């Protein structure tokens, strides 16, 4: 079939009837760039062809040519608003690009179209919920995904639940889920760092330090010389945990330095901005800029929504922030105060 398809393209160049079958052969072989080359030619011949553009979007996405993938999927959705492949493909692009609000809107379109919940879609749903800061409100949805046959034993889902519990400010439960992920084979460094963050947020300095040491040790490769520095020493999450511990101990300039180092390594890290906002508040500086970053970036800190609500008062913006926080963290220590605040909004 492969030879025949290639021969047909050679015999009749510029014919969409031969370009598409030849592209299909390359798609099946996961030759994404080769398929994309043929599908680009087909799209030039018929830009409104939904079948061509859908294939082109898939080829471009897997070839990591995201601009072409966006263009192709958008062309499909112009003609078929509920096209399954284009909706799921666009959702994947948006969440990978960190365009969380657009990803949430695309997921709503997916749900409105009532698409079958494939494994890919289920995992994209989980990623969207975590990256949007859904917290407690998303736990049931992720638990449903965890019970699927094709996700049983998937350590990444335990991590997703752990991150949602962090957002919900249920820190001890989060620790348990990070531990479960490690038992199931998840990256030990990442699991220990998640554990360390949960304990630091809980104010348990000794346990946070212990988890950090475990992360540092786990990152050292086998056979390394004794006393060799750990590759995890400058991990952004570890730096934020160190900064959080420093802030808990009242050492605010040091905490700020750790947060700034984390942002140098990972400029879109919401938790580093949240730490800077907390430090700014303690040092009587204006935390607004960092609060807004912590509230808007991927994997936001829901606590930033509550602090912004308090600053704004019971106006439209403040009430929206408060409701969003309560949805993510209805069992937090702040929940009662947030409910009282929301009563003033009605």
Q: What backbone phi and psi angles, to 5 degrees, belong to 195?
A: -60, -45
Question: Using CA atoms, how far apart are residues 191 and 177, in angstroms rounded to an integer?
Answer: 9
Return the structure tokens found at 148. Answer: 């699927």
User: Mind listing the pLDDT tens digit of every residue in the chain (346 residues)?
Assistant: 455 555 455 545 567 888 998 899 999 999 999 999 999 999 999 999 999 999 999 999 999 999 999 999 999 999 999 999 999 999 999 999 999 999 999 999 999 999 999 999 999 999 999 999 999 999 999 999 999 999 989 999 999 999 999 999 999 999 999 999 999 999 999 999 999 999 999 999 999 999 999 999 999 998 888 888 999 999 999 999 999 999 999 999 999 999 999 999 999 999 999 999 999 999 999 999 999 999 999 999 999 999 999 999 999 999 999 999 999 999 999 999 999 999 999 7
Q: Which residues contact 206 (CB under 8 A, 6 or more apart)?
A: none
Contact between residue 163 and residue 144 where contact means Cβ atoms under 8 Å apart: no
Report percent pLDDT > 90 for the chain.
91
What's the pLDDT tens digit per position in 215-260? 999 999 988 888 889 999 999 999 999 999 999 999 999 999 999 9
pLDDT of residue 222: 87
Contact between residue 241 and residue 212 where contact means Cβ atoms under 8 Å apart: yes
Please state, as a whole number, how many other Cβ atoms lie within 10 Å of the Cβ of residue 222: 4
pLDDT of residue 225: 84
pLDDT of residue 11: 47
Helix (H) or strand (E) holding 181: helix 171-183
Q: Closest by alpha carbon to 302, among 313, 291, 311?
A: 291
Return the structure tokens found at 115. Answer: 């698409």
pLDDT of residue 44: 95
């Amino acid at each position: 079939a492969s030879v025949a398809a290639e021969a047909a393209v050679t015999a009749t160049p510029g014919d969409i009837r031969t370009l598409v079958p030849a592209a299909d052969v390359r798609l099946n072989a996961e030759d994404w760039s080769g398929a994309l080359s043929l599908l680009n030619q087909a799209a030039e011949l018929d830009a409104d062809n939904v079948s061509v553009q859908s294939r082109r979007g898939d080829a471009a996405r897997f070839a990591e040519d995201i601009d072409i993938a966006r263009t192709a999927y958008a062309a499909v959705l112009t003609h078929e608003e509920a096209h399954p492949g284009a909706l799921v493909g666009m959702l994947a692009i948006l969440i990978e690009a960190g365009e969380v609000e657009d990803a949430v809107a695309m997921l709503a379109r997916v749900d409105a179209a009532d698409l079958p919940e494939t494994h890919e879609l289920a995992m994209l749903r989980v990623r969207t919920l975590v990256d949007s800061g859904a917290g407690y409100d998303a736990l049931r949805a992720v638990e449903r995904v965890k019970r699927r046959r094709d996700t049983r034993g998937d350590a990444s889902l335990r991590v997703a639940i752990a991150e949602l519990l962090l957002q919900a400010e249920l820190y001890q439960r989060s620790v348990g889920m990070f531990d479960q992920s490690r038992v199931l084979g998840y990256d030990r460094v990442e699991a220990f760092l998640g554990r360390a963050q949960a304990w630091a947020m809980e104010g348990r300095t000794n346990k946070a330090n212990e988890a950090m040491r475990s992360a540092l040790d786990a990152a050292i490769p086998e056979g390394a010389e004794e006393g060799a520095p750990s590759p995890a020493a400058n991990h952004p999450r570890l730096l934020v945990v160190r900064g959080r511990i420093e802030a808990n101990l009242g050492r605010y300039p040091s905490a700020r330095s750790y947060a700034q180092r984390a942002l140098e390594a990972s400029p879109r890290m919401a938790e580093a901005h949240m730490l800077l906002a907390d430090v700014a508040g303690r040092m009587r500086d204006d935390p607004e800029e960092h609060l807004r970053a912590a509230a808007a970036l991927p994997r936001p800190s829901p606590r930033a929504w509550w602090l912004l609500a308090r600053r704004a008062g019971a106006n439209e913006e403040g009430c929206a922030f408060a409701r969003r926080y309560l949805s993510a963290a209805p069992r937090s220590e702040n929940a009662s105060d947030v409910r009282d605040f929301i009563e003033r909004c009605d």
